[in-house]
């Protein structure tokens, strides 16, 4: 199978709101993003974490982008647009990278022992670099937004 969509991971968000009371602070700048090839098949209803299937194989790393990914910085939560909770961050830009076939970005809570998966961003096509810059420019709606007034 392949990556076909971006999304939020239900187990993580359920654990934020139920008696588990998972403590993910989205303002922290310790969350990391790891790259994966198109050979992973995300299941937003059951996937739980980085380094747990299917994110225990097919990670894309190389010069300038270590296994485990890079920290997401400039994180912020805001209401934008009205009635929506937006999670945004500084665009990712790593120079002098050599990577092959990065198809998606898994954002996970690296500060937590469980490396809980937060969201996956599908690039819709594979990207490679050879001694160049690998960049992710977030949309005007940030890394993700949740409409709280459907």
Domains of the chain, residue spans: 7-137
Indicate the pLDDT class of residue 148, thresholds 50, 70 and 90: very high
Q: What is the pLDDT of residues 98-137, one digit of tens each?
A: 999 999 999 999 999 899 999 999 999 999 999 999 999 9
Residue 54 CA to residue 104 CA, distance in Å, equals 13
Identify the pLDDT of residue 36: 98
Indicate the pLDDT class of residue 150, thresholds 50, 70 and 90: confident
Identify the pLDDT of residue 2: 86
Share of the chain above pLDDT 90, in %: 91
For residue 17, the surrounding DSSP H or E stretch is helix 10-17
Identify the pLDDT of residue 1: 56
Beta strands in 13-116, from DSSP E residues, in sequence order: 32-36, 59-60, 70-71, 76-79, 84-88, 92-108
Indicate the pLDDT class of residue 91, thresholds 50, 70 and 90: very high
Q: Give the residue among 73, 69, 102 at the shortest CA–CA distance from 88.
A: 73
Indicate the pLDDT class of residue 33, thresholds 50, 70 and 90: very high
Residue 15 has pLDDT above 60, yes or no: yes
Question: Pairing between strand 84-88 and 76-79?
Answer: antiparallel
Share of the chain above pLDDT 70, in %: 99
**Residues in contact with 35: Cβ distance below 8 Å, sequence separation at least 6, in sequence order:** 59, 60, 61, 65, 69, 99, 102, 103, 104, 105, 106
Integer-rounded Cα radius of gyration of the chain: 15
Phi and psi, residue 37, nearest 5°: -80, 180
Q: Give the residue among 18, 30, 11, 36 at the shortest CA–CA distance from 89.
A: 30
Lookup: tokens for 101: 């076939």
Q: What is the pLDDT of residues 58-85, one digit of tens each?
A: 999 999 999 999 999 999 999 998 999 9
Q: Give the residue among 129, 111, 17 at the shortest CA–CA distance from 72.
A: 111
Residue 75 CA to residue 23 CA, distance in Å, equals 16
């Amino acid at each position: 199978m392949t990556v076909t969509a971006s999304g939020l991971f239900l187990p993580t968000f359920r654990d934020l709101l139920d008696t588990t009371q998972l403590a993910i602070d989205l303002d922290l700048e310790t969350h990391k993003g790891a790259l994966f090839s198109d050979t992973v098949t995300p299941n937003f209803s059951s996937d739980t974490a980085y380094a747990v299937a299917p994110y225990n194989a097919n990670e894309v790393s190389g010069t300038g982008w270590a296994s485990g990914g890079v920290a997401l910085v400039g994180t912020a939560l805001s209401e934008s647009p009205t009635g929506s909770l937006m999670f945004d961050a500084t665009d990712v830009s790593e120079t002098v990278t050599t990577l092959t076939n990065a198809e998606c970005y898994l954002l996970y809570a690296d500060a937590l022992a469980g490396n809980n998966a937060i969201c996956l961003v599908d690039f819709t096509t594979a990207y490679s670099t050879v001694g160049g810059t690998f960049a992710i420019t977030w949309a005007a709606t940030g890394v993700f937004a949740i409409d709280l007034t459907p």
